[in-house]
Amino acid sequence: MSDSSLTFDQIALFSLFGLVFAMLLWGRIRYDVIAFGALVIALLLGLVPKDQAFSGFGHPATIIVALVLVVSRGLVLSGAVDKITALVIDKDRSLQSHVSIIGAAGGLMSALMNNVAALALLMPVDIQAAQKSGRSPSLSLMPLAFATILGGMITLIGTPPNIIIAAFREQALGEPFAMFDFAPVGLVAATAGMVFIALVGWRLIPGAQSSRDETQDLFEIGKYIAEVVVIEDSKAEGQLVRELDEACEEHDIAIMGVIRNGKRLAGNSRNTELRAKDILVLEATPEQIDKFVGSLKLGYQRKPSEAPVAARGMELTECVVPADARIVGRSSMSVRLLSRRNVTLLGISRQGTRFYQRVRKEEIQAGDVLLLLGPADALPDTVRWLGCLPLANRGLSLTQHGRAGLAAGLFALAILAASFELVYLPIALAAVVVLYTLLEIVPIREVYDTIEWPVVVLLGSMIPLGTALENSGGTSLIAGSILSLTEGLGPAIILTILMVVTMTLSDVLNNTATAVVAAPIAIEIANRLGVNPDPFLMAVAVAASCAFLTPIGHKNNTLIMGPGGYKFGDYWRMGLPLEILIIAISVPTILIVWPL
């Protein structure tokens, strides 16, 4: 087969990958559905042999990703990281000191557990610290998210791209990267990146130079669109909407409209006389809603068969919606939140965007912040069931403080055994998961909920497609094209270009998918140059992890978008110089640690 002609399999696979990338960029369909759909198409066209159809789901990379998530959950539930998180809350610290300390904590934790789990644990802590210090959380959430991404590069289990790269090395060279093989390069790059974030990066965030008090910025950016009910004998019953202006001004409430008999009245209904069972559509923060409801003796809508209720016996909780949450693309009505969980979706915050659909009918988007109302004992389970992350600690602790040493000890023992090659890493992690379950460190009901199944499906689907591309000669064609464009340049420059291309792809695509595609290309380029493939694989590992320009390149970037009130264009301000710094630091470090 010559490079000048394409076979049917190559044309079909390139077209399929192009379609996958286009769909991922479009972003309207979840990435796991796209990947699995592409696998099915490849099977129907005969591009992937039927005996390899689901080989990706048993691939070591897929298994390790799933196991790491369960282990991370065990470390959280046992309280093994409580001492670290307790150190970062100090209202008297300067912003720069806070960013440095919480960034270091996030980096350390994400090196030892999945970096998404590390951010999920520290994000509420950071928001509380911001509120106590009288500043906006937007000034520290992005530095925290970037620090957890950087810390994940240090070890094999810190981020999925490292796991994928290690698996591809085993396939190509017969031996995977070990647990701490990523540490020399990852530690240098992560340290340099965190120093930049602490000294310079946080100052580049929009609004970082503002001198005014920003305590309430989070809520000014992301007020909720919420619904409350006019109950019988309410002070609002019988009044015109405009007659509530004084109460609205007192509590900083904006009345957006009125819903009567399930239908929204035209405009903002200023001259409408309110009746019992009318629903007021408000724009406000949770605190403002609570005070407004109390002052006018309003209520909250519950099940249709029930009368509206006052706030007594109910609690509020806020949660942020990740891209792979159960409720993304669906409404609270379609998931039957109230009937299934006895919890009401009271409000939605969408970065200042107003919408005109009923709150319970509005399709939820990634990055939204949800305001939930329900019994205290139902809220934590509901947040997990929805696939969301709580924004603040509402006194609902599930931590088993007395078992921190046991959980950390079991995990450390497994890592040591794998590092000294006494036990294969997936088996060591599997043993930890079994012990965590038997010892009830992770309740059995949470084991399957903890695993990010969309990521498992993504990996299980993309790995056979990547293997098919390699077997068809498609990977060789891509590598040949890169070498043709860089003809006459040295291996070090080609490695740098590969890193730039991979990092750019990771900014617009899922970083896991980027690693699956780029890893075999890196091996092919190294083979054609006749050099050691390890530096090229390491370059792809670093580049695939470092997605700092957009909120879609890495899940951690998406998670902070709503709570931080960030816009799409805010990320590159700190992200672009950080990516340039990572490339400048990583390339010489890679060439020293992993010589060509």
Residue at 263: amino acid letter: K
Tell me which H or E stretch contains 389: strand 389-390
* Domains of the chain by start residue, with CATH: 63-213+406-453 (no CATH), 217-390 (3.30.70.1450)
In our burial notation (b when 16+ CB lie closer than 10 A, e otherwise), range 135-153 reads: bbbbbbbbbbbbbbbbbbb
Taking alpha carbons only, the member of 476, 496, 492 closest to residue 484 is 476
**C-alpha to C-alpha distance for 338 and 168, rounded to whole angstroms:** 46
| C-alpha to C-alpha distances, 525 to 55, 481, 535, nearest whole angstrom | 25, 10, 11
Name the stretches of the chain with pLDDT < 50: 1-3, 209-221, 305-313, 393-398
Taking alpha carbons only, the member of 69, 40, 70 closest to residue 56 is 40
In total, the chain counts a number of residues equal to 596
- Residue with token string 């672009």: 576
Taking alpha carbons only, the member of 594, 556, 565, 576 closest to residue 150 is 556
pLDDT at residue 3 in the model:
47
Helix (H, G, I), strand (E, B), or coil: what is residue 213? coil
First and final C-alpha spacing in the chain:
29
| C-alpha to C-alpha distances, 83 to 76, 88, 105, 123, nearest whole angstrom | 11, 9, 10, 16
Whether 139 and 205 have beta carbons less than 8 Å apart is answered as yes
Whether 102 and 110 have beta carbons less than 8 Å apart is answered as no
Please state the pTM of the whole predicted model: 0.65
Per-residue pLDDT tens for 30-74?
A: 878 888 999 999 999 999 998 888 888 987 778 877 887 788 778
pLDDT at residue 188 in the model:
95
Burial (CB count <10 Å: 0-12, 13-18, 19+), residue 488? exposed
Instruction: Name the token pair of 401.
Output: 């403080």
pLDDT at residue 212 in the model:
40
Neighbours of 266 (CB within 10 A): 9
Per-residue pLDDT tens for 161-194?
A: 898 899 889 888 888 898 889 999 999 999 999 9
User: DSSP of 281-350, one letter per residue?
Assistant: EEEE-HHHHHHHHHHHT-BB---TTS--B-STT-EEEEEE--TT-TTBTS-TTTTTHHHHHS-EEEEEE-
Cβ within 8 Å of residue 190, ≥6 positions away: 107, 111, 150, 151, 153, 154
Residue at 380: amino acid letter: P
Instruction: Name the token pair of 291.
Output: 């005070």
Helix (H, G, I), strand (E, B), or coil: what is residue 256? strand
Neighbours of 247 (CB within 10 A): 17
Taking alpha carbons only, the member of 133, 83, 125 closest to residue 102 is 125
- Residue with token string 């005996």: 51
